[in-house]
Amino acid sequence: MINRRTLAKSAGAALAVSATAAVPAAVPATAAPDADTSRRRYLIRGGAVVTVDPVLGTLPRADVLIDDGTIVGIGPGLDARGARVVDATDMIVMPGFVNTHFHMWSALGRNFVADGFPYFAAKRATSTLYEPQDVYRSVLLGLAELANAGVTTVHNWSNNTRSLPHAEAELRAHRDGLLRARFSYGHVDQMPRDVPMDFTGVDSVRQRYFSRGSAFDGLVHLGVCVRGLSQSDEPAFFADMDATLSRGLPVSIHAGQSPPRIVDAADYERRGWLGPKTLLTHYVTALDSDMEIMARTRTPLSWSPHSEFRLGAAGDPRDTLLRFRRAGVPVSLSSDATSIAPSDSFESMRVAWTTGIPWQGTPSATLPEVGFRDVLTMATLNGARALGLGDVTGSLTVGKRADVVLVRTTDVNLAPGGLFETTLVQAATPANVDTVFSDGRIVKRGGRLVGYDVERIAREARASSLRIRTAAGGILTPPAV
């Protein structure tokens, strides 16, 4: 059990986290009809607690006490007076997953791709057709899918922010979506390479929604995602970076999955662009020298296991991942886009673990393999740190916010149980997620989403998807009924 000294030490952090939090309406308009998503005092009793806390580690049987959205106790036999008890017998209790790179505006386009019509072709055919209502529905669909899979924090990489109304529609989805997030305002997809981003919308959103630093009960913070040299010329890219960093906002950059190498870490360091507030994603083309600079400057990497293999043409992503780890770069996991991979962190962990092995006769032959605990940390604590939320979430630690997931181990695909980290990585799926707390609110219980009106969300996403596919024509034209 956490002793009183540890609890007292964490109390200041807990107060700092919750100081700006004002409790919103108990049941959002998009919640299931019978939902109660109020913060309460909960005791999660008798589970196997995988804390991902470097000090606490894994506790074979323990309780987790939550009060008003904060974790206030971890250990066996905690006092449950005044608490609603959540029975975690035969369950694994773990921190919520953190997905550090998800293009949520296109979640409803998950099935637009086809044989001979891959991701980039589908995106080019449809990205200009999204209206504000469509991106609201898409982001909300993505948030519900994430919550169902035990993801409690997401980086919404909005790389098709077509107008201020589009950005505000995405933010309304975050208001209704109940998950922790970074909203990274981005460019208009397919805009000319030589035209810098227009930061008028960024400034307007910042003033209206983020004047106190975060929005929506403190759950959402603001960033910017820039095109990088894959989609813009040098003068435009440099202008985008200067505009972002001069505003003190965290920045995210697509670093490339295919030749030529478009990111030069040494040059970025000279320009003052690297550090904890800069998140690079993919970077399959990175040289060892790039990785060493990222490690030294504590610049995090978002790794999308499915996407690096499916879209990468820069060599062996396995080798790249192992080299990033050898260099000491903080690696987190992400899904990229639903047309490439599901928003399923269990599967992302499994792919990273499965492929994270050295191969004889290749440059990776002498590198250490990726372990179960490694990918679990990538999917949780490393992700939180990559988004500047390491003191808030990513592990079950007294004083952090209560982003907690309960996984049933009695389901047939997890029985008869075993080592807890192994079970989570090797076998678990979203179907095994019994309960999800997001910031102390229950959004999934008994295997059912209660924070979302799933029928309505799916129905409205279908309507938007049908409209976009019909407008795009060609291979996307819906078949006649």
Q: What is the mean pLDDT of the chain?
A: 91
Q: Find where tokens 């399923």 sit.
A: 344
Q: State phi, psi for 457 to the nearest 5 degrees.
A: -60, -45
Nearest to 126 by CA among 341, 337, 280, 344: 337
How do strand 441-445 and strand 448-449 relate by DSSP bridges? antiparallel
Tell me: pLDDT of 3 over 60.
no
Q: Residue 198 is encoded by which pair of tokens?
A: 């227009």
Mean pLDDT in residue range 118-132: 93
Q: Which CATH architecture has domain 97-386?
A: Alpha-Beta Barrel (3.20)
Mean pLDDT in residue range 454-467: 97
Q: State phi, psi for 168 to the nearest 5 degrees.
A: -65, -30
- pLDDT level of residue 109 (50, 70, 90 thresholds): very high
**CATH 3.90.550.10 applies to domain 34-89+399-447:** no
Q: Find where tokens 């799916």 sit.
A: 458
Q: Residue 466 is encoded by which pair of tokens?
A: 């049908």
> What is the Cα–Cα distance from 158 to 188, expressed in whole angstroms?
9
Q: Residue 329 is encoded by which pair of tokens?
A: 């770069």
Examine residue 259 and say whether the peptide bond preceding it is cis (omega within 30 degrees of 0): no
Q: State phi, psi for 356 to the nearest 5 degrees.
A: -85, 55
For residue 132, CA distances in Å to 141, 170, 400 come to 14, 8, 34
Provide the β-strand partners of residue 441.
438
- pLDDT level of residue 311 (50, 70, 90 thresholds): confident
* pLDDT of 37: 74
Q: Give yes or no for a contact between 329 and 294, defined as CB atoms under 8 angstroms apart.
A: yes
Cβ-Cβ contacts under 8 Å for 273 (sequence gap 6 or more): 241, 245, 251
Cβ-Cβ contacts under 8 Å for 447 (sequence gap 6 or more): 408, 431, 433, 434
At 324, is the secondary structure helix, strand, or coil? helix
Count the alpha carbons within 13 Å of 37 in the hemisphere toward its beta carbon.
27
pLDDT digits (tens, 9 = 90+) for 240-288: 999 999 999 999 999 988 888 999 999 999 999 999 999 999 999 999 9
**Any idea where the domains of the chain sit in the sequence?**
34-89+399-447, 97-386
Nearest to 243 by CA among 202, 214, 204: 202
Higher-pLDDT residue of 296, 38: 296
For residue 235, CA distances in Å to 183, 365, 381 come to 25, 41, 36
Mean pLDDT in residue range 235-240: 97
Q: Residue 260 is encoded by which pair of tokens?
A: 């030529």
Please report, for the chain, how many H helices and E strands are present, in that order: 15, 17
Tell me: pLDDT of 24 over 60.
no
Please say whether the dihedral angle defined by the alpha carbons of residues 418, 448, 352 and 328, taken in this order, is positive or negative. negative
